[in-house]
Chain A
Amino acid sequence: MSAFSKSNWDRRSVLRAAMGLAAAGGLAACGSNNGRGGGASGDALVQYFHAYGEAGTEQAIKKYAAAYDKANVTTQWITGSNFESKLFASLLTDNAPDLFEFHPQIQLVTSGQVLDLTDIVEPVKDDFNQADIQSHTVDGKIYGVRMIDDPQFFFYRPSLFEKAGVEVPQTLDELIEVAAKLTTDKVKGVYLGNTLQAVIRPMIWAAGADTLDENNRIAYHTDGVVEGLKKMRKLFTSGDLLLDAPADYWDPSALNQGLTAIQFCGMWAMPAMQQTLGDDLGVFPFPQVTDAGKPSVYNGGWSMFVNAKSDKADEAKEYVKWLWIDQKEYQEDWALSYGFHVPPRTSIAESADKLKSGLPAEGVKLFTDYGHFDNIGWTQAMIKATEDVFADCVRKDGDPEAALDKCDKAVNTELKKLFG
């Protein structure tokens, strides 16, 4: 900028300087929205998180990132209900995050999208919940670091149960009856979310079936599941199911606002519910659908993955190791200070006093007794296919067999692509 060093500015150099500034400003403006913050020094890493509902979560993730001194980590906090779509779409572009949270799904491994993290997990492998290690392993390699486990089950209000004179349901039939008795003109019996997608896998397990068997073949197309779908249809049309609530199942609002007596939700919402409802809160698993089935709980959760196609993959891996392997204090804070999550690290779970007594302890018991973890072979396309089943024959009056046949077609196409 010679213009500034000279005392007598001529018109041309001032103009040149002004244009240079404008151009720089334009470039900076372009850069400001790509999630890579200032980036004054060190490497700039970008991570994607879906928007957790609990207060303080976004600040916490940013706080951990700020404490890392080897790279400047910026966080994209993705709001809205379609985190998967936004993540998958961005992974194809140059603006892809260097690391992101997601669930273990094998198509990310087969397409070379996620980096092998075996060498950072291996040294502490025994400290992890072995089911979590298994759900992230393909051909002996571990592809993600579990941050939190999120058991999902029913929450209910004992005071309303007492008033209606009902007991905790042990079977899906009983749940339908209980819901009918609990329904008044102000309060609906039960809430499963507006689209019912959260109870699909629990229902399959509670009907004695599974998503895929150990040889990665369809295991959900059974008579028990068909029976379960018919019962779900009965519940859906009974008028005792809360529908079109302003907040979806993952948000504690429906139960907290007294719109429903029972709500399917996750362990994460427990603190918020306890704060509103106090002791008037209980939990139970998804009840058994058939005699062959057992009550079930979906142990969902979130894991960190490194984008293998990023040119800063090694730095990203280094960050994942630092935060999600080494920094146990932060891991504990993340699992227990906002919503409740079960820590996947045994050493942290053992010292987690908040989960040792009362209702949280009951939640952890459901997690251990009835929990089913992710199957890495069960991918987003298959999840979507089963959502279509629920749409076709629970929300719509379709034939369950036909809906499952359609689902089989989609899942088999997917299985063939993944496993040959």
Chain B
Amino acid sequence: MSTTTTRGLARPAPAKSSGTRPRRGLRGNSTFNFWLFTGPFLIGLLIFVYVPIGWSIWLSFFEARFTVTPDKFIGFDNYRQMLGNGNFTGSLLTFTVFAAIIVPTTWALSLGLALMVNRLRFMRAFFRSVFFLPTACSYVAASLIWKMSIFNGVRFGLANTVLGWFGVENIAWLANPDPPWYWLVIVTARLWLQSGFYMILFLAALQNIPDELYEAAAIDGAKPGWQTFRYITLPQLRATSTAVILLLLIAAYQAFDEFFNLLSKTTWGRPPLVELYYTALGDSQDYGAGSAGAVILTLLICAVTLLQGKIMGFGRGDESK
């Protein structure tokens, strides 16, 4: 804005004379434009991502309890504490189990929903919206509904009422970890919340498969149903499937809300983010140990990402295909 004013004051009217040669003001400068457009994001990135990461690395070498500006350097003690802490290493296992369950089930369910909705001849828009709607619900709200009304342990909980018709005893879904019913609660909540979104992705991909392929397959004698699905639909969905699986993995890694809200005072069922929350921000307020855990986690993610790039060929560009 200021540039406009300055120029306006300096050269009020004689715009005619300068019309002949191209203006090389700040506006025409591509370097300036680059910084103008990327600057705000870079500043945001710097302040909200890189400074906290740096601060966290710094904190991880200090005795930082009840403070984020510590002064007692303790070397690698925090790292030793976190790696020797069964809860933290256990949380990595919890995450692996969670990802191993939630990624394939959501993939299968959303693909199944997409196939069904895609086949509908009437009310397609209605069903598409109905399955997509839960995506708009917050994880916290859904967790509370799951905890308080569907899976509460008393006789009038929805799940226990249904089981009661078959003479099954009331089950404490969340308080008792043996058998681990809490996984059922967590997985169903997340399935309900996220399947609709991935269904839309699959639906879009399904509609992109050219009809000619199906016709050609039919002429070649492929039976409709499983054979067509296995040899035409599924291979055509490969790109979308890969993207969906990646997105699901990232979402699983970020899991926090439902674990935090459904399970309390446990030593189990805590993915890394929940565990780190309790270490750094919970009752003990140990920012040093929490930061050490976060750094370990960051290194692990970097390692996994690099490995994934090696295997799946990300970042190598098109020539690799």
A contact residues vs B (CB 8 Å cutoff): 81-82, 84-85, 88-89, 91-92, 107, 111, 113, 185-186, 194-195, 197, 236, 239, 242-246, 259, 380-381, 383-384, 387-388, 390-392, 395-397, 406, 417
A243 near B178 with CB under 8 A, answer no
A195 near B281 with CB under 8 A, answer no
A383 near B154 with CB under 8 A, answer no
B33 at the A/B interface (Cβ < 8 Å)? no
B254 at the A/B interface (Cβ < 8 Å)? no
Q: Please list 14 pairs of residues, one from A and one from B, whose beta carbons are closer than 8 Å in the complex, sorted by A's number.
A: A81-B264, A84-B282, A89-B285, A92-B67, A111-B67, A195-B175, A195-B266, A239-B169, A244-B154, A245-B154, A383-B283, A384-B283, A388-B267, A392-B267
Interface string of B114-130 (1 = CB under 8 A from A): 00000000000000000
B143 at the A/B interface (Cβ < 8 Å)? no
Name the CB-closest residue of A to B177: A396
Residues from chain A with a CB closer than 8 A to the CB of B174 are 194, 244
A246 near B66 with CB under 8 A, answer no
B67 near A395 with CB under 8 A, answer no
Q: How far is it, in angstroms, between the C-alpha of A380 and the C-alpha of B175 when the chains are bound?
A: 22
B267 near A396 with CB under 8 A, answer yes
B207 at the A/B interface (Cβ < 8 Å)? no
Residues from chain B with a CB closer than 8 A to the CB of A392 are 267
Q: How far is it, in angstroms, between the C-alpha of A390 and the C-alpha of B266 when the chains are bound?
A: 9
Set A82, A107, A244: member contacting B172, Cβ < 8 A: A244
Q: How far is it, in angstroms, between the C-alpha of A391 and the C-alpha of B268 when the chains are bound?
A: 9
Known contacts A84-B283, A88-B283, A391-B267; 13 additional CB pairs below 8 A are: A89-B285, A91-B66, A111-B65, A186-B155, A194-B174, A195-B175, A195-B264, A195-B265, A195-B266, A239-B169, A244-B175, A246-B154, A406-B86
Set A259, A391, A406: member contacting B154, Cβ < 8 A: A259
A267 to chain B, nearest CB (A): 23
A264 to chain B, nearest CB (A): 14
A88 near B66 with CB under 8 A, answer yes
Q: How far is it, in angstroms, between the C-alpha of A397 and the C-alpha of B265 when the chains are bound?
A: 16
Residues from chain B with a CB closer than 8 A to the CB of A384 are 282-284
Name the CB-closest residue of A to B285: A88
B152 near A244 with CB under 8 A, answer yes
B201 at the A/B interface (Cβ < 8 Å)? no
Name the CB-closest residue of A to B175: A243
B237 at the A/B interface (Cβ < 8 Å)? no
Candidate in B87, B149, B172, B283 with the most chain A CB atoms within 10 angstroms = B283
Residues from chain B with a CB closer than 8 A to the CB of A387 are 265
B218 to chain A, nearest CB (A): 54
B177 near A246 with CB under 8 A, answer no
Residues from chain B with a CB closer than 8 A to the CB of A244 are 151-154, 157, 172-175
A380 near B152 with CB under 8 A, answer no
Residues from chain B with a CB closer than 8 A to the CB of A92 are 66-68, 285
A236 near B176 with CB under 8 A, answer yes
* 8 A Cβ contacts from B177-222 to A: 177-178
Candidate in A81, A113, A396 with the most chain B CB atoms within 10 angstroms = A396
B148 at the A/B interface (Cβ < 8 Å)? yes
* 8 A Cβ contacts from B247-294 to A: 264-268, 281-285
B85 to chain A, nearest CB (A): 9
A409 to chain B, nearest CB (A): 9
Known contacts A391-B265, A417-B65; is-contact A245 B152 (Cβ 8 Å): yes
Name the CB-closest residue of B to A84: B283
B163 to chain A, nearest CB (A): 13
A111 near B284 with CB under 8 A, answer no
Q: How far is it, in angstroms, between the C-alpha of A244 and the C-alpha of B282 when the chains are bound?
A: 23
Q: How far is it, in angstroms, between the C-alpha of A310 and the C-alpha of B155 when the chains are bound?
A: 49
Name the CB-closest residue of B to A397: B178
Set A89, A243, A245, A417: member contacting B176, Cβ < 8 A: A243
Name the CB-closest residue of A to B172: A243
Q: How far is it, in angstroms, between the C-alpha of A396 and the C-alpha of B265 when the chains are bound?
A: 12
A242 near B154 with CB under 8 A, answer yes
Known contacts A242-B154, A243-B175, A391-B266; is-contact A89 B281 (Cβ 8 Å): yes
Residues from chain B with a CB closer than 8 A to the CB of A395 are 175-177, 266
